[in-house]
């Protein structure tokens, strides 16, 4: 039986508006692909690097990561939109007061 290959997820630039994770093999550190937000489907998706192959456990781990980040990301996007609306409203109020 093959050992369970747990991928590692490393956020590349925490300052990016939309997070991007590099996915690496947990055994040898090879890059497997990237996880990023996909606007048309409104979820995080995995884009594998060319020439990579996966066992079902690795695929399940990547799918679980995408699902967890999507659940957090959708709520985060709603919070960001609410914050922008609030900021825009307060700017309008401030402009009217001056």
> How high is the pLDDT of residue 1?
45
> How high is the pLDDT of residue 69?
93
pTM across the whole model: 0.70
Provide the domain count of the chain: 1
> How high is the pLDDT of residue 28?
86
Position 26 in a domain:
yes
Q: Which residues of the chain have pLDDT under 70?
A: 1-5, 74-98
The residue among 21, 27, 12, 37 whose CA lies nearest residue 57 is: 27
The residue range of the domain holding 27 is 8-97
> How high is the pLDDT of residue 36?
93
- CA separation for the pair 47, 42 (Å, rounded): 15
Position 93 in a domain:
yes
> How high is the pLDDT of residue 26?
84
**CB 24 within 8 Å of CB 11:** no
- CA separation for the pair 35, 48 (Å, rounded): 9
């Amino acid at each position: 039986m093959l050992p369970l290959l747990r991928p590692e997820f490393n956020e590349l630039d925490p300052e990016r508006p939309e997070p991007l994770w590099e996915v690496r093999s947990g055994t040898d550190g090879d890059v497997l692909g990237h996880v990023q937000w996909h606007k048309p489907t409104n979820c995080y998706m995995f884009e594998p690097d060319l020439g990579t192959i996966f066992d079902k456990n690795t695929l399940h781990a990547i799918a679980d990561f995408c699902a967890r980040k999507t659940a957090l990301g959708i709520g985060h996007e709603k919070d960001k939109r609410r914050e922008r609306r609030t900021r825009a409203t307060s700017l309008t109020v401030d402009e009217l007061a001056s």
